[in-house]
Amino acid sequence: MPSEPVSSERVEGVILGGGISGLSAGWRWSRAGFHDYRLLELEDQVGGNSRALAYKATSAPIGAHYLPLPNEEARAVRRLLREMGYLDWNGSAWQVAQEHLCHSRQERVYYRDSWHDGLVPRAELSDSALRQFEAFDAHIEGWRERRDQKGNKVFALPLHYSSREPEFLALDKLSFAEHIRSQGWDDPYLLWYLNYACRDDFGGTIDNCSAWAGLHYFASRDGGGLGHPGDILVWPEGNNRLARFLREQQLGEVATGSLVVAVDHKGDGVTVDYLDLASQQLKRLEAKVALFCLPSFMRGRLIADDVATDAFVYPPWLTANLALDRTPEDIEAPGFIAWDNVIHGSESLGYVVATHQMLNTDPNKATVWTWYRPFPEGPALETRKELLETSWKTWADTVLDELTPLHSNIRKLCSRLDVTVLGHGMIRPSVDFVWSQSLSRARKAQGSLFFGHGDLSGMSLFEESQFQGVSAAESALAHLGNKVESYL
């Protein structure tokens, strides 16, 4: 790499990272009339975990693939959906455009040699198991309705609006497993279900995620007056639909293929050096303000920083996209395949179907499935190394071997299989992390450098990534003396 920049440019602002947080920051700056900025992104496609791959049948996600109906406090998300035309005012209330809600069947689980609607096959469970599920559901509903002495939700989304009362924050110092045991719940299927939830949203388990985070997963979403708390917005390409819209709204310059190598925030501004991968030239930007929307583990490599990031844990993930000539055989009729298809007892999370939202769901037409597997336990560094060293064929066989017993002719119909390794897939809300002093310190600005990555919430959710990016953008505008209405 060149040792000295070949050029130096002055801009008003620079955004480091083009994931959802960085794109949301640029969206906010653009809406505020602040256009003289550069957004630097390493990959050739912005979006971070919300990127997608294009196929003949449709585009399909490599990561984030749905958005729950936003709560009322998720004001930036609701504003974004209004801009996209997905929320309409009917004269008395907001309503969601129904075509973007996940079509039936939303999800099914393979359990005891057959598929069942939803993730809880109640007809197959014992009376004791059903009683524990009923108790858990009542427990969650109590938390969803609970308010603190100031009227704040205990579990809000974004979590910034959650109660800060010590009684509730103490839950962050317990593992979710400890909280579950304290309630006397021990049914194997219930424990699998709760572990599945932690693996799905956090890349963790009930043992290594905090009780606060586990309860937040179930109790924080309330539908926001738009529908049922479990309703979700789904597109063939997943959350790339949102990322692409945010990309289109950028009025500053978006520079993909840009590897940030150094950030100096001494003095009145910020200096950023980055390698332009296309030209292999080292370039420099001098800005009045900068937004650090990169994962926090990059801080120690790029800036002089005294904020420890040892507690930031990023479990690796692997996803596989299967381009299929048509819908494979199924033990049910192919036309009954759900959007989300989960396999009980598997190390994977199953697969989602990109063509599920299309009006023409002819099983004889080509489709794309995205298969997910987190790695929630063990040393992350060693797992990343193993993932990178394992051959494509090994992972392709792993995926197809799991799916063949359920879809006998899937190998014959699979014309292409792409494997994506996400070495730092998502932040894990470990025990004593979400409400820790170290995370609070990491959110604080340093001079003209503001921090806005989604991992600063402790949970890898669209609502949190957008909140952090918009918050950093608005703080930088205030630092420059610009008064704007807050989107938050």
pLDDT, one tens digit per residue, over 325-374 is: 999 999 887 667 999 999 999 999 999 999 999 877 788 899 999 999 99
The pTM of the whole model exceeds 0.95:
yes
pLDDT at position 363, please?
Answer: 84
List the chain residues with pLDDT less than 50: none
Backbone angle region of 183, left / alpha / beta, with phi > 0 → left and psi within -120 to 50 → alpha: alpha
Q: Which of 358, 355, 37, 69 is nearest to 228 (CA)?
A: 69
DSSP secondary structure letters along 321-369: EEEESSPPP-SS-GGG--SEEEETT-SS-EEEEGGGGSS---TTS-EEE
CA distance 163 to 447: 29
Burial state string for 16-36 with b = 16 or more CB within 10 A and e = fewer than 16:
bbbbbbbbbbbbbbbbbebee
Backbone angle region of 227, left / alpha / beta, with phi > 0 → left and psi within -120 to 50 → alpha: left
DSSP letter, residue 265:
-
Burial of residue 94 (CB within 10 Å: 0-12, 13-18, 19+) is middle
Three-state DSSP class for residue 234 = coil
pLDDT at position 218, please?
Answer: 98
Q: How many CB atoms lie within 10 A of CB 381?
A: 10
Backbone angle region of 337, left / alpha / beta, with phi > 0 → left and psi within -120 to 50 → alpha: beta
Dihedral pair phi/psi, residue 260, rounded to 5°: -70, 130
- Reply yes or no: is the peptide bond before residue 295 cis, omega within 30 of 0: no
Q: Which of 480, 457, 446 is nearest to 292 (CA)?
A: 446
pLDDT at position 205, please?
Answer: 98
pLDDT at position 335, please?
Answer: 67
CA distance 243 to 238: 10
pLDDT, one tens digit per residue, over 123-165 is: 999 999 999 999 999 999 999 999 999 999 999 999 999 999 9
Domains, the chain, in order of start with CATH, read: 7-48+240-309+430-479 (3.50.50.60), 133-225 (1.10.405), 315-422 (3.90.660.20)
The residue assigned the tokens 């640029």 is 26
DSSP secondary structure letters along 184-208: T---HHHHHHHHHHHHHHHS--TTT
DSSP secondary structure letters along 68-110: EPPPTT-HHHHHHHHHTT-EEE-SSSEEE-GGGBPPSP-EEEE
